[in-house]
Every structure is written in C-alpha cells, then in structure tokens.
A and B are shown apart, each in its own frame.
Chain A
C-alpha cells in the first residue's frame, strides 16, 4: 500500500523540464530523507537521487531532487527520449517502522 502520492503521469518534449511531485506526511517525508528511483520497462529500479538531493555516481546532473516540509520533487531538465520510464519516490516512515513508496509516475517523451 503506497503512502506517498505521485501524479500518475508526466510528459514533455525533448529538451523540456519535467517535475514530479511526491506528497507524504510528517511521519515519513516530514522527518526522513527521500530517495528517487527510475525503472525502465522490464528492468530493476535504478537509484536516481538519495538523501533528498544527492546523485549517485553516474547519474547525470539533469536529474535533481528537493524536499520541503512533507513534500519532495524530482526535476528532469533537458528531457531526453531515454528518460521514458517509471519514477518512484520512497522514504522511511516512523509510524509504520518501514519504508513507503510513492504511487509511481510514468514519464513520456513526446
């Protein structure tokens, strides 16, 4: 059961900037860091952002993350065709004593 809310879809043309929101509560995003994952069709999730705004080695700086209060955002600038994928946010939830994922957002490059 997803506790973090994301828009089901987002789209843009090549070169545009796309933003995905992730809404939670005080027990998860409000008190813990947020990670983002990219999942290409038929593959395992790939870590994209950790600790709200840090990029793992090898992730292009076109991807950026931010957090404010009980919400977080992932921005993709200079959208490319290979960015078509599903994107998920996740955070630890103090009330549940477990991780919670977002509902997922499918990004389409028009």
Chain B
C-alpha cells in the first residue's frame, strides 16, 4: 500500500525559511515523479513543484527562485525547501505521487500546514 507522510509544517515569519518533507513507502520511490501541491485556506488546489525520477525539477512561477525541491531516493524522501516566505504561501502542502509521466496525483499524503505570519 502506498503511503505518503508529510512533516515539517509550522508557523514561520514573513521572509523566513522552512523545510517540509514527505516520507514515501509501498512503491519503488526512485521510479516515480513526485509533486508538491498546496491549498490555501478556502481556496483551490495549486501545483507547486515536481521532481522527476531522473532528477529533473519543475516549479510554478509563483515559487520559482524561492523554493527548491529535492529527493533522496536512498531514503525514499521528498523535500521542499522554502525561503523568502510570504503570507500568500500559507497553505496546506500535499505530497503526491505520479500515475505515470506527466500524470500526477495517483496517491496523496494527508498534508502539512505552513502558516506564514508575524
């Protein structure tokens, strides 16, 4: 059974940094692209970043230059380093496993809440 468990969320001041992680199990992690998707309070889903199985990375324009996605295939872990955080980055961040190439969201974690506020 695929399991994705996010951690690391919390309260951070504007301009600050935070690293969230996703521990994956139940599948061959290195063979799948993974994504981070966020949802601001009361809003819709927004794709944030993706990491391909081969190491390629992609970012939404809203976070490019501020967020860095990484993965450790030896530890089955996906991470998102977030810096220069803004109030509008406040959201629940979900980790998601691809179905296949360019087809995201086959499995989702429960999410971790990041709040950017002074």
Chain A residues within 8 Å of B, Cβ to Cβ: 1-2, 32-33, 35, 37, 39, 44-47, 50-51, 56, 86, 88, 90, 92, 96-104
Q: Could you tell me the distance between the alpha carbons of A96 and B63 in the complex, rounded to whole angstroms?
A: 13
Chain B interface size band reads: 20 to 34
Contact in complex: B105, A37 (CB < 8 Å): yes
Contact in complex: B45, A98 (CB < 8 Å): no
Instruction: Determine if B115 is an interface residue (Cβ-Cβ < 8 Å).
Output: no
Contact in complex: B59, A98 (CB < 8 Å): yes
State the 7 A-B residue pairs at the shortest beta-carbon distance, nearest first. A99-B47, A92-B102, A104-B44, A44-B108, A50-B99, A101-B45, A98-B58
Chain B residues within 8 Å of A, Cβ to Cβ: 35, 37, 44-47, 50, 58-62, 94, 99-100, 102-111
Q: Which residues of the partner chain B approach A86 to less than 8 Å between Cβ atoms?
A: 44
CB nearest to B111 among chain A residues: A44
Contact in complex: A47, B46 (CB < 8 Å): no
Q: Which residues of the partner chain B approach A103 to less than 8 Å between Cβ atoms?
A: 44
Q: Which residues of the partner chain A approach B99 to less than 8 Å between Cβ atoms?
A: 35, 47, 50-51, 56
Q: Which residues of the partner chain A approach B103 to less than 8 Å between Cβ atoms?
A: 33, 35, 50-51, 92
CB nearest to A45 among chain B residues: B108
Q: Which residues of the partner chain A approach B61 to less than 8 Å between Cβ atoms?
A: 1, 96
Given A45-B105, A98-B58, A99-B104, 8 other A-B contacts at CB below 8 A?
A37-B105, A51-B100, A90-B47, A90-B105, A92-B103, A92-B104, A98-B47, A102-B44
